[in-house]
C-alpha cells in the first residue's frame, strides 16, 4: 500500500493511496488511535471522491469520529477504461432500446463486477486495518445503487462488517447474497425510483436475513434521497459501531 | 373543560380532565409558556394512559419540551361501554371466524368510530390550545393501529396538525382521507404484521399526498415496533415542530 498524498484541514485528514492498481482514499480524524471504519461504495459513473461520498465521509469523520475508506470501482475514477465492462454496458444499452427490462440487466452487470470488487475491497480492508490511526475496530459498509449491487455480496462475504446501509438496488441478482447477510441493515428505497422497480427493492429488503433491518422509503426518483436520511445514517452507524 | 387532578414529578405535570363526557390527560413540562403540542391516539383495547402512550408522552415532554394530550376513544378507558361498537365488534368476530378477511372489517369499523372521534379531538384541541401553558403553537399527531385508523381522517380534517407519525394501518377505508393529507408524515410498517396485510400498509403510505413522507418498515409482528423508532419519532417531530 503506497500513500501518494496527504492533506489535513478542518479536523479531517485525507490520504490518497494505491493498493496494487486500486486507487483509494482514506479519511480520518486528526487525532491518533483506533476507531470504527466505514467502507463506502460509490455509485455507477461516480468515483471515490464524488461529492455525495465526500460529503457523507466528512460527516462520519467529524460527527462520529470514524475513519472512512473508498476506492474506485474498475472502469471508474482514476482506473483505466475496462474494455469488457464497456462492451457489456453498450450491449445492455442496445438491449434496453430493443425493449428489454433495465433492472435485470443492471443487476447481472453488478453481479459480474462484484466478482472482482469483493476480493479487492477485502484486500483494502486488510491493508487499512493495519494502520495505527485506523486499527481493527468495528467496520460498517455504506453503499447505494451500484454501491448496493456491489455491497450486498461484499457484506455477505465479509465477517468484519458489523452493520450496513444499503439501498436503491433490487433483488434480481443479489437475493442469494442478501440471504447470507445477518448484520443490522438500514435499507433506502426511493418510492418513485425510475431505475429499480419498487417490488424489486422490497424483495431485496425482504431477502436480507438480518434480525434487525429497517427499510426507509421516501418519495422521489433514484437520486433524490432526502437530506434527513443522512442524519439517520449517522445515527444508525453510531448505534451499531460506536 | 374541567380538570379533575393534577400531579407534577420529574419535570412532568399530568392533568386529568373531562371535556363534556370525554376523559383526557394533558402532560406538560413544569415551566410556563406556549409550546408545540402532540395529540396522541391510543390503540384498540388501550386507553389514554396505556404504557406505550405514557412512555412516549413523557419523552416528548422531557426531551422535546412539548405538551401532549390523549383522550379515551369511545368504549375505551374511562368511557362507558358502547353498545353499537360492541355489537359490531362481535359481528366482525363472527364474520372472521366464518372466513371473512380481517383487515377490511377493521378498517370499516375504524372509519365508523372516526366519524365520532374527529369532531371530539377537534373540540379537545380547541380547549387545550386556550390554556396558557400550551397555547396555539404547532401541533403534531401520533397514532398507530387504531390510532392510525382514527388519525388519518383527523389529520386530513384538521389544518392545525403540521406533521404526523402514523402506521400499522391499511388503505382499505382511509385511502380517500390519506389523499387529503399534505403535511410531513413518518409512517411505520411492521413487515410481518399479522393484522394489516403488507400491501395494504404500502398502499396507505402510497395514498398520502404529502411531499415529505417517509416509510419505516421493520421486521416483526403488529405490536413489535423497535425502540429505535421512538428516537426517530422524537427527531421527526423536533424537525417539524420545534
* A211 near B CB under 8 A: yes
Q: Which of residues 40-99 of A touch B (CB under 8 A)?
A: none
With CB atoms and an 8 Å threshold, state whether B216 touches A215.
yes
Placement of cell 421493520 in the chain: B218
* Residue of chain A whose Cα is closest to the Cα of B213: A218
Residue B119's beta-bridge partner residues?
none
- Within 8 A of A202 by CB-CB distance, chain B residues are 202
Half-sphere exposure of B138 (CA within 13 A, CB side): 14
pLDDT at A104: 86
Considering CB atoms only, which of A191, A215, A226 is closest to B217?
Answer: A215
- Within 8 A of A226 by CB-CB distance, chain B residues are 212, 214
pLDDT 10s per residue in chain A (242 long)? Answer: 999 999 999 999 999 999 999 999 999 999 888 999 999 999 999 999 999 999 999 999 999 999 999 999 999 999 999 999 999 989 999 999 999 988 888 888 999 999 999 999 999 999 999 999 999 999 999 999 999 999 999 999 999 999 999 999 988 768 889 999 999 999 999 999 998 999 999 999 999 999 999 999 999 999 999 999 999 999 999 999 98
With CB atoms and an 8 Å threshold, state whether B217 touches A206.
no
pLDDT at B173: 67
With CB atoms and an 8 Å threshold, state whether B216 touches A214.
yes
pTM for the model stands at 0.92
Does pLDDT of B209 surpass 80? yes
pLDDT tens-place string over residues B131-163: 999 999 999 999 999 999 999 999 999 999 999
Secondary-structure percent of chain A, ordered helix, strand, coil, rounded to 5: 40, 25, 35
What is the C-alpha separation between A188 and B216, in angstroms, rounded?
A: 10
What is the C-alpha separation between A142 and A161, in angstroms, rounded?
A: 10
pLDDT at A125: 98
B85-103 burial: b if 16+ Cβ within 10 Å, else e: beebbeebeeeeeeeeeeb
* Nearest Cα residue to B55 out of B24, B7, B12: B12
**Domain B2-241, CATH 3.40.50.11030 — does that match?**
no
What is the C-alpha separation between A73 and A138, in angstroms, rounded?
A: 23
C-alpha cell at A132: 495505527
Alpha carbon of A125: minimum distance to chain B alpha carbons (Å) = 29
Question: Which residues have a Cβ under 8 Å from the Cβ of B189 and sit 6 or more positions away?
Answer: A215, B167, B168, B198, B201, B202, B205, B215, B216, B217, B218
Using CA of residue A98, residue A101, residue A104, residue A109, what is the dihedral sign?
A: positive
What is the C-alpha separation between B181 and B162, in angstroms, rounded?
A: 10
| ipTM field | 0.88
What is the C-alpha separation between B129 and B139, in angstroms, rounded?
A: 10
pLDDT at B107: 85
Burial class of residue B123 in the structure, from the number of CB atoms within 10 Å of its CB (0-12 exposed, 13-18 middle, 19+ buried): middle
Mean pLDDT of the B206-224 span: 97
With CB atoms and an 8 Å threshold, state whether B228 touches A217.
no
A199 in Cβ contact with A193 (< 8 Å) = no
Half-sphere exposure of B71 (CA within 13 A, CB side): 28
Between CA B131 and CA B140, with CA B135 as vertex, the angle to 5 degrees is 115
pLDDT at A51: 96
Amino acid at each position: 500500500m503506497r500513500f501518494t498524498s496527504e492533506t489535513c484541514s478542518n479536523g479531517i485528514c485525507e490520504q490518497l493511496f494505491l493498493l496494487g492498481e486500486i486507487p483509494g482514499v482514506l479519511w480520518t480524524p486528526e487525532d491518533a488511535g483506533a476507531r470504527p471504519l466505514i467502507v463506502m461504495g460509490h455509485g455507477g459513473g461516480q468515483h471515490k471522491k464524488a461529492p455525495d461520498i465526500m460529503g457523507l465521509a466528512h460527516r462520519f469523520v467529524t460527527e462520529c469520529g470514524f475513519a472512512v475508506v473508498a476506492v474506485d470501482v474498475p472502469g471508474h475514477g482514476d482506473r483505466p477504461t475496462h474494455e469488457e465492462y464497456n462492451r457489456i454496458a453498450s450491449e445492455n444499452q442496445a438491449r434496453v432500446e430493443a425493449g428489454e427490462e433495465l433492472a435485470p440487466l443492471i443487476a447481472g452487470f453488478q453481479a459480474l463486477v462484484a466478482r472482482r470488487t469483493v476480493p479487492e475491497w477485502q484486500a483494502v480492508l486488510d491493508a487499512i486495518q493495519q494502520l495505527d490511526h485506523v486499527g481493527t475496530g468495528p467496520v460498517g459498509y455504506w453503499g447505494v445503487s451500484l454501491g448496493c449491487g456491489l455491497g450486498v455480496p461484499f457484506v455477505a462475504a465479509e465477517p468484519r462488517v458489523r452493520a450496513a446501509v444499503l439501498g436503491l438496488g433490487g433483488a434480481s441478482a443479489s437475493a442469494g447474497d442478501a440471504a447470507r447477510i445477518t448484520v443490522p441493515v438500514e435499507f433506502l428505497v426511493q418510492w418513485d425510483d425510475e431505475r429499480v422497480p419498487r417490488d424489486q427493492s422490497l424483495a431485496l429488503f425482504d431477502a436480507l436475513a438480518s434480525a434487525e433491518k429497517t427499510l426507509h422509503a421516501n418519495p422521489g426518483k433514484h437520486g433524490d434521497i432526502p437530506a434527513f436520511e443522512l442524519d439517520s445514517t449517522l445515527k444508525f452507524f453510531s448505534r451499531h459501531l460506536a
